C-alpha cells in the first residue's frame, strides 16, 4: 500500500552549458538555483532549507547560503559523491515531513572540464588521510581501473560480454541525438563501442562517461506549498541509501550498494520494480548501469547483460527506458557528479516534458538511482522513487 506523499519536487533546472570558461563554481550554483526556483514559481526569499555537498566552494553550505542571500532554518551538507543530490532529495522530504522546513533548495555545480584542461585528473575517491590510504594509494588506483575490476569480475562470474555493456552506451546515444545540449549527439552502434580505444581492460573509451562543467538544482516543497503553485509537481514516494565498501577484505565486485538502498525505497513507496515506467540510472561507466539494474531488482544477478540487449533500455518502448537525455555517457556529468541530472530528466518524463521521440507513454512512476565513489572499493548508493500524482 502506498503512503500519501509528504513532499513534492516543484522545480528543476539543468545548466545549459557543458564547457564554462567564463564563470566560477559559486556562480554555477547560483545560476541553477535561480533556474529551478523560477521553474517552480518561487524565489530565493521563499527558501527556508538549503542542501549541497562538497562540490560547493568555500565553506560549503555556509558560504553558498551567504552568496545566495539565504536565511534558512535547516541545512544539510552530507557528502555522497555523485549520489549526493539524491540523498539530499530524500533528506529534504524527511525534513519537510518533520516540519523543519517548507521549501528546500538543492544545488550541484562544478567545473570539471576546466580542471581537466588545467591538467588536474579526476579524483579516484581516495584521500591520503583516509584509513585506506596507506594500503591503496601506493598502488596507484585510477577511477577507470577500479570500475574495470568490477566489470572484469562480472564477466568472469556471469559471462557478461563487452558487446552487452556496449548496448548501454548505444541506448544512451540513441536518446542523446534528440538533446541539443548533449556533448555527444551522434548515435553509435555496438561495434563503435567495442572498437573504440581501450581505457582500462575491459572498458573502452565509449564505456566511459563525459567530463563536463555545469550543474543542476532541485526545489522540494511541502504539500501545502505545492497546492498553491501553478507548476505540475512530482511526488517523492520513497528514498533509501546505503554504503558499500571493501568489507575489511571480503570484497565482492559483482554487486553495489543498490542491493540495500533499492529495497528500502521500494518498501517506503509501496512499489515494486514492475511498477516502474522509467529509470534514471547513474552511468559513470556502462558497468555501473548493469550492476545497478540487477541490484535494484529489474533482473536477476548475472542477467543484466541479457536484460539490456535488443534495445531493452531504449525509449519509448524498451523493457526499461533509461536516461532519455543521453545520461552521463553522452549528455552531461557536471563536476564528475551526475546524480542531479538523473532526477531532472525523471521529472521531465513524469511531467511529459521529455523530447517527444523519447517520452515514455503514460509515465506514472520513475526510479532514480545514484552511485557515489567507485565500484571497485567503496561507494554510496542512493535510490529515490517518484510519482506523477499531484498534491
Q: Each residue of 59-86: pLDDT tens digit?
A: 998 999 999 999 999 999 999 999 999 9
When pLDDT is averaged across residues 17-41 and rounded to a whole number, the result is 95
Model confidence, pTM: 0.95
Whether pLDDT at 127 is above 80: no
185 and 331 in one domain? yes
From CA 227, how far away is CA 7, in angstroms rounded? Answer: 11
Element (H, E) at 304: helix 304-307
| Per-residue buried b or exposed e for 261-274, using 16+ beta carbons within 10 Å of the residue's own CB | bbbbbbebbebeee
Which residue(s) pair with 344 in the sheet? none
When pLDDT is averaged across residues 146-170 and rounded to a whole number, the result is 98
Print the domain residue range for 190: 131-209+237-387
Kindly report the backbone phi and psi dihedral angles of residue 215, in degrees, each rounded to the nearest multiple of 5, phi listed first. Answer: 170, -170
From CA 247, how far away is CA 80, in angstroms rounded? Answer: 18
CATH of the domain at 279: 3.40.47.10
227 and 293 in one domain? no
When pLDDT is averaged across residues 175-204 and rounded to a whole number, the result is 98
Q: Which of 56-65, 124-133, 178-187, 321-330 has the lowest mean pLDDT?
A: 124-133
Q: Is the peptide bond before 317 cis (omega within 30 degrees of 0)?
A: no
What's the CA dihedral at 115, 121, 123, 124 to 10 degrees? Answer: 160
From CA 296, how far away is CA 293, in angstroms rounded? Answer: 5
- Grid cell digits, residue 228: 498553491
Tell me the chain's radius of gyration from C-alpha atoms: 19
**How would residue 1 be classed by pLDDT, with cut points 50, 70 and 90?**
low
Q: Is residue 121 part of a domain?
A: no
Q: Is residue 123 part of a domain?
A: no
Q: How far is residue 214 CA from its own chain's centroid? A: 14
Q: Is residue 125 part of a domain?
A: no
192 and 80 in one domain? no
Q: Is residue 372 part of a domain?
A: yes
283 and 176 in one domain? yes
pLDDT at 129: 81
**How would residue 125 be classed by pLDDT, with cut points 50, 70 and 90?**
low
When pLDDT is averaged across residues 363-389 and rounded to a whole number, the result is 95
Kindly report the backbone phi and psi dihedral angles of residue 20, in degrees, each rounded to the nearest multiple of 5, phi listed first. Answer: -115, 95
351 and 305 in one domain? yes
Whether pLDDT at 122 is above 90: no
What's the CA dihedral at 343, 65, 101, 337 to 10 degrees? Answer: 20
Whether pLDDT at 148 is above 70: yes
pLDDT at 387: 97
297 and 162 in one domain? yes
When pLDDT is averaged across residues 320-338 and rounded to a whole number, the result is 96
296 and 265 in one domain? yes
Q: Which of 33-42, 180-189, 341-350, 371-380 has the lowest mean pLDDT?
A: 371-380
When pLDDT is averaged across residues 273-277 and rounded to a whole number, the result is 98
Kindly report the backbone phi and psi dihedral angles of residue 334, in degrees, each rounded to the nearest multiple of 5, phi listed first. Answer: -65, 130
Length of the chain: 391
* DSSP secondary structure code for residue 109 in this structure: E
381 and 242 in one domain? yes
When pLDDT is averaged across residues 315-339 and rounded to a whole number, the result is 96
Q: Over the chain, what is the mean pLDDT? A: 94
160 and 90 in one domain? no
Whether pLDDT at 200 is above 90: yes
> In the chain, how many domains are there?
2
Q: Is residue 47 part of a domain?
A: yes
Angle between helix axes 286-295 and 258-269 (nearest 10 degrees) is 50
- Grid cell digits, residue 19: 564547457
Secondary structure tally for the chain: helices H, strands E: 14, 11
**How would residue 252 be classed by pLDDT, with cut points 50, 70 and 90?**
very high
Q: Is residue 326 part of a domain?
A: yes
Whether pLDDT at 247 is above 90: no
Whether pLDDT at 126 is above 70: no
Q: Is residue 105 part of a domain?
A: yes
276 and 154 in one domain? yes
Whether pLDDT at 3 is above 90: no
153 and 196 in one domain? yes
232 and 364 in one domain? no
Q: Which of 192-201, 239-248, 279-288 has the lowest mean pLDDT?
A: 239-248
Q: Is residue 339 part of a domain?
A: yes
Amino acid at each position: 500500500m502506498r503512503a500519501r506523499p509528504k513532499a513534492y519536487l516543484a522545480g528543476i533546472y539543468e545548466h545549459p552549458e557543458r564547457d564554462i570558461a567564463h564563470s566560477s563554481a559559486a556562480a554555477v550554483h547560483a545560476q541553477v538555483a535561480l533556474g529551478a526556483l523560477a521553474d517552480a514559481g518561487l524565489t530565493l526569499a521563499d527558501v527556508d532549507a538549503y542542501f549541497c555537498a562538497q562540490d560547493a566552494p568555500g565553506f560549503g553550505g555556509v558560504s553558498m547560503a551567504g552568496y545566495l542571500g539565504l536565511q534558512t532554518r535547516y541545512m544539510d551538507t552530507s557528502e555522497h559523491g555523485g549520489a549526493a543530490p539524491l540523498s539530499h532529495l530524500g533528506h529534504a522530504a524527511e525534513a519537510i515531513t518533520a516540519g523543519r522546513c517548507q521549501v528546500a533548495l538543492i544545488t550541484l555545480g562544478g567545473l570539471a572540464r576546466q580542471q581537466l584542461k588545467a591538467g588536474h585528473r579526476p579524483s579516484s575517491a581516495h584521500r591520503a588521510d583516509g584509513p585506506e590510504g596507506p594500503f591503496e594509494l601506493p598502488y596507484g588506483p585510477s577511477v577507470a581501473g577500479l570500475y574495470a575490476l568490477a566489470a572484469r569480475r562480472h564477466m568472469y562470474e556471469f559471462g557478461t560480454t563487452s558487446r552487452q555493456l556496449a548496448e548501454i552506451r548505444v541506448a544512451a546515444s540513441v536518446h542523446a541525438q534528440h538533446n541539443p545540449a548533449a556533448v555527444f549527439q551522434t548515435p553509435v552502434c555496438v561495434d563503435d563501442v567495442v572498437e573504440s580505444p581501450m581505457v582500462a581492460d575491459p572498458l573502452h573509451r565509449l564505456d566511459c562517461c563525459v567530463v563536463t562543467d555545469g550543474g543542476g538544482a532541485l526545489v522540494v516543497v511541502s504539500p501545502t506549498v505545492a497546492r498553491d503553485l501553478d507548476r505540475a509537481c512530482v511526488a517523492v514516494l520513497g528514498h533509501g541509501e546505503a554504503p558499500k565498501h571493501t568489507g575489511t577484505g571480503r570484497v565482492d565486485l559483482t554487486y553495489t550498494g543498490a542491493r540495500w538502498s533499492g529495497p528500502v525505497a521500494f518498501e517506503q513507496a509501496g512499489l515494486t520494480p514492475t511498477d516502474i515506467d522509467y529509470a534514471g540510472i547513474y552511468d559513470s561507466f556502462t558497468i555501473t548501469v548493469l550492476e545497478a539494474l540487477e541490484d535494484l531488482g529489474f533482473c536477476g544477478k548475472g542477467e543484466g547483460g541479457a536484460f539490456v540487449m535488443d534495445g531493452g533500455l531504449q525509449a519509448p518502448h524498451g523493457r526499461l527506458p533509461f536516461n532519455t537525455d543521453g545520461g552521463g555517457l553522452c549528455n552531461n556529468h557536471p563536476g564528475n557528479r551526475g546524480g542531479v541530472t538523473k532526477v531532472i530528466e525523471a521529472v521531465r518524463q513524469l511531467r511529459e516534458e521529455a523530447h517527444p521521440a523519447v517520452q515514455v507513454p503514460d509515465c506514472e512512476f520513475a526510479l532514480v538511482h545514484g552511485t557515489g565513489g567507485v565500484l571497485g572499493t567503496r561507494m554510496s548508493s542512493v535510490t529515490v522513487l517518484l510519482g506523477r500524482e499531484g498534491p
